[in-house]
Amino acid sequence: MPTELFSNEPVLSLTNADIYQGTKLVLGDVSFAIHKGEFVYLIGRTGSGKSSLLKTIYADLFLPNGQGHVADFALEKLRPKDVPYLRRKIGIVFQDFQLFFDRTVEENLKFVLKATGWSDKTKMKNRITEVLMQVGLSNSHKKMPHQLSGGEQQRVVIARAMLNEPLLLIADEPTGNLDPAVSDQIMHVFQNINNAGTAILMATHNYDLLRKYPARVLRCEEGKVEEYKQ
């Protein structure tokens, strides 16, 4: 969708940003912006820097040069105590962000709500019902993760990322271990979330998804991030 439809400030912008892993410059002079409600793919070969870029956006890696803005936070000035507040504005869906396997779906979600400052039991219950409905798992409150398929577990992870109504959802290979039919289900969930106004930045190697669900594409290549025209 053309960004001029959205008059607001971008939910994410990087300006002349350098992305480092330790002392190694992974991506240099990165500049792009993502606006409310945009869907953006991030592609590039293994080792090209996709995960490093996403980690910088959610402040797992420090931004030493250039500017980065996520919601109202300036990444280059971020203090450690700001990080949890920044992360409330970003939903994160990674393969290695596991669920607690000894807790029900509902308990997994409640854990995150409590950790992010929620205390009213009725409000927590209602929010959990809403996010599970959003990912098509309305009847799974009391299930243990091992009673769910891989795709359903991933949908719980997405529900968990949506609890605090993030402006931006970041997903790193969210369909990586899933077969094509299940990947389609996950894409439909992302589309619903995106249509409701949350911007999505999704790193993927799955080019079938790009063809089936076309959207803006950014590519990491040879130390740069560029708009990629299909």
Ligand X SMILES: Nc1ncnc2c1ncn2[C@@H]1O[C@H](COP(=O)(O)OP(=O)(O)OP(=O)(O)O)[C@@H](O)[C@H]1O
**Contact positions toward ligand X, by CB under 6 A?**
21-22, 24, 26, 44, 46-52, 220
For the CB of residue 56, give the shortest distance to ligand X in the complex, in Å. Answer: 10
| Structure tokens given for 55 | 């980690």
For the CB of residue 55, give the shortest distance to ligand X in the complex, in Å. Answer: 7
For the CB of residue 176, give the shortest distance to ligand X in the complex, in Å. Answer: 9
Using the minimum distance from each CB to ligand X, give the nearer residue, 63 or 137. 63
Which residues of the chain form beta strands (DSSP E)?
Answer: 12-21, 24-34, 39-43, 65-70, 73-74, 90-94, 168-172, 199-203, 216-221, 224-227
Using the minimum distance from each CB to ligand X, give the nearer residue, 26 or 128. 26
For the CB of residue 79, give the shortest distance to ligand X in the complex, in Å. Answer: 22
- Indicate if the alpha-carbon torsion angle 191, 197, 89, 51 is positive or negative: positive
- In the 8-state DSSP scheme, what is residue 104? -
Give the contacts of 73 (CB within 8 A, at least 6 positions apart): 82, 85, 86, 89
Q: How many whole angstroms from its chain centre is CA 49?
A: 16
3-state SS class at 201: strand
Using the minimum distance from each CB to ligand X, give the nearer residue, 8 or 23. 23
Q: Are 142 and 105 in contact (CB under 8 A)?
A: yes
For the CB of residue 2, give the shortest distance to ligand X in the complex, in Å. Answer: 28
One-letter amino acid identity for 161? Answer: A
Using the minimum distance from each CB to ligand X, give the nearer residue, 51 or 185. 51
For the CB of residue 24, give the shortest distance to ligand X in the complex, in Å. Answer: 6
State how beta strands 65-70 and 73-74 pair.
antiparallel
Using the minimum distance from each CB to ligand X, give the nearer residue, 24 or 81. 24
Using the minimum distance from each CB to ligand X, give the nearer residue, 140 or 204. 204
Residue with tokens 């009213």, as numbered in its chain: 120
